[in-house]
Amino acid sequence: MSGNYGIAIDIGTSGIRAQALDIDSSEVISTTITLRHPFPGANVVDHLHFALKVGIKTTHDLLIEAINKVIRGLNIDTQNVKRVAVCGNPIQLSLFHNIEIRDLAYWGENAIERLKIEIPSRNATITNSKEIGLEVFEDALIFIPPAIRHEIGADALAMLYKTGVLDKEGIYLISDFGTNAEMALVIDGEVFTCSTAAGPAIEGQMIYKGRLASPGAICDLEDNDYEWKSIVLDNDLLITDGDTIDPSTGKIISKSKNNIEAIGITGTGVIAAFSLGIDDEIIVDSKIKTDDKKLHLQDDVYLAEEDIVNIGKSLGAFRAAHLTLAEEADILLDDIDAVYMAGASGFYVDPLKSLNIGQIPPSSREIYQVGNTSLDMAKDITLSPEFLDELQKIADQMRSNHIMLATSKTFEKIYSLELSIYEEGMPFWMYNKWLEKYGFQTMPSKELNPKIHRMFERDISDLGINGLNVVDIGLTLEAKFDGCTRCQTCIKNCPEDAITLEDDGRIILRTDKCAGLGCQKCVLTCPEKVFDYGKFLNLS
C-alpha cells in the first residue's frame, strides 16, 4: 500500500458508512458503519425539524463529530488522507456542507420569499477538510456530488447512474429501500422521481426487537411446514443459518450447527416475517393469531402487533408511490421491464417476499439487487476526482419530472386506501374496487417466476483488507430548562432511554437513540411545558 489514502462516505438517513481506499492501487483497506444516525429521529423530516430547532451550525457540528468517529474507526493514518468524497440526500449533504436547508423544509415560492431564503447551489462542489472540520490532512480535498434538482439528491443520482438505466431503452423502476425511499421510473431515458416516507420500520427501527443490518441480526426467514428457520448476519455481514423455531409458541425445533446468536431483527427480516405470517395465516387483517399476540423467532426475538401495523404502513407507502409514479407517467405497472432494488435493505431482503407483500410491484418480471450505490459512487469519485465533472453534466442534462407526494392528490387517495388495509382490515379486493372508482389502474397479477439477479455477495461488495468495524457514535446534547422541577417525567416516558438528568440540573440527550419528531414524548409529557429542543447545545 502506498500510504496515500482516500475516504468514501455515505451519509444515509439511518446511519453512516465509510471506506478507506488506497488511491494509488484502488484497494479497499477497511469499512466502518454506524448502526444509527447521530440526529434524533428516523427520517429526513425528523432531521430537518431537529436542525431547524437547534440551528444549522449545531447540527453540522454534531454530524461532523460523528463522521470523525467513523473516520477514526477506519484505523488508518488520517494525516495521509488526501481525498474524501461524500454522498447522500440533499438534507444530509447540506448539513455536511453547512449550507442553507430551509428551502428543503418549506414548500412553495411564497414561503421562500416570505422567509427571505436564498436557495444555495447544490452543484458539484470541491472544498477542503479544514472548511468542513474533518480530522484528516488539513489540505485534503472534499468532493460533494451534485443534486439533480434541489430536492433530488446525489443519492438518487447514484442510484440512476450505477444501475445504468439512463442509457437503456425500456421502462425501469429503481428504488432505494430506506426510511426515505427514493424512487425513479425511467422510460427510455426520461426520469420520473419521487421520495416516500416509508418510515423507520423498513430498516428495523421503531420495532421492539429491531436493528439495522449488523452482526447478529435476523435478516431473513425460511418456512418449512410452518416451522421458521432464521437467517442471521455473521461478523462479516454474510448470511448464515440460525435456529428453527415454531413461530406460534417460540419452541426450538432445531439448533443451528454454528450456534450463532440472534440479537435483533432487520427490516428485511421483518419483511420476511410479514410475508411468511400472511402465507401461513398467522397474520390475518394485520392481527397476529397467536395466544400471546407475538410472532416468535430465535433467541427471544419477536414481532408484536404494533410492529405489524408499522411495517404495513411502510409497505403501503411503497405501493402507493409505485402507483402514483405509474399514473403520473401514464404507464401501467405491468409495462415495467425490470425492477432495481438499491440500498442495504433492498439488497438483503428476499425479493420474492417483497413481491409477495407489495414492496415491489407484483408484476415484476426481472429483479436486480444492486447494493449500496451511494457509497459505491462516493468510492468512484474518491479514486477518480474527474468523475465529479461527468456527474455534473449528467445532472444538468437529465430530463427529470419530480412528483411531490406530499402535495399529490393521487398519492393521498391511494395511501388512504393503504391505511384502510392495515388499520381497519379492508380486504384487498375492495382496495382494487376503490382504485377503479378513483379512475386509477388496479394492482396487476403476481408474477410467479421472476428472474432475480443478485449483483454482489453483500450490499457493500468489498469490505477491504482489514474488514468491517461497527462504530458506536454515542453523541450527546445538553441543556438546562428554566422552570424544570427535575420530576424526571421526560426520562420515564422516553421509550428509547435517550435522556438522563445530571445532579446540576443538566438534561443530557443521546441523539442517536432519540426518536425525534415521531415521538416527542419528552416534550408532550413535561408537566411544566419547559422541555425545548431548541435549547440543546452540542457540548459533548
What structural domains does the chain harbor?
5-149+375-395+462-471 (3.30.420.480), 476-535 (3.30.70.20)
Determine the pLDDT at residue 204.
67
Q: For the whole model, what pTM was predicted?
A: 0.80
Q: What is the amino acid identity at position 340?
A: Y
| Alpha-carbon distance values, 114 to 102, 121, 407, 446, 495 (Å) | 12, 20, 20, 49, 38
Beta bridge partners of 221: 230
Query: Which three three-digit cell numbers place residue 184?
Result: 425513479
Determine the pLDDT at residue 29.
97
Q: Are 404 and 411 in contact (CB under 8 A)?
A: no
As to burial, measured by CB atoms within 10 angstroms (0-12 exposed, 13-18 middle, 19+ buried), residue 29 is: buried
Determine the pLDDT at residue 400.
67
For the chain, give the longest Cα–Cα distance. 65
| Alpha-carbon distance values, 264 to 207, 229, 267, 272 (Å) | 10, 15, 10, 14
Phi-psi domain of 439 (left: phi exceeds 0; alpha: psi -120 through 50; beta: other)? left
For the chain, residues with pLDDT lower than 70 are 1-2, 42, 107, 150-151, 200-205, 212-213, 399-400, 457, 518, 537-540
What is the C-alpha to C-alpha distance for residues 147 and 384, in angstroms, rounded to an integer? 19
Q: What are the φ and ψ backbone dihedral angles of 153, each rounded to 5 degrees?
A: -90, -175
Determine the pLDDT at residue 205.
65
What is the C-alpha to C-alpha distance for residues 462 and 323, in angstroms, rounded to an integer? 35
pLDDT in tens, 311-367: 888 899 999 999 999 999 999 999 999 999 988 778 878 899 999 999 999 999 999
Determine the pLDDT at residue 540.
42
What is the C-alpha to C-alpha distance for residues 187 and 168, in angstroms, rounded to an integer? 9
* Alpha carbons within 13 A on the beta-carbon side of 190: 7
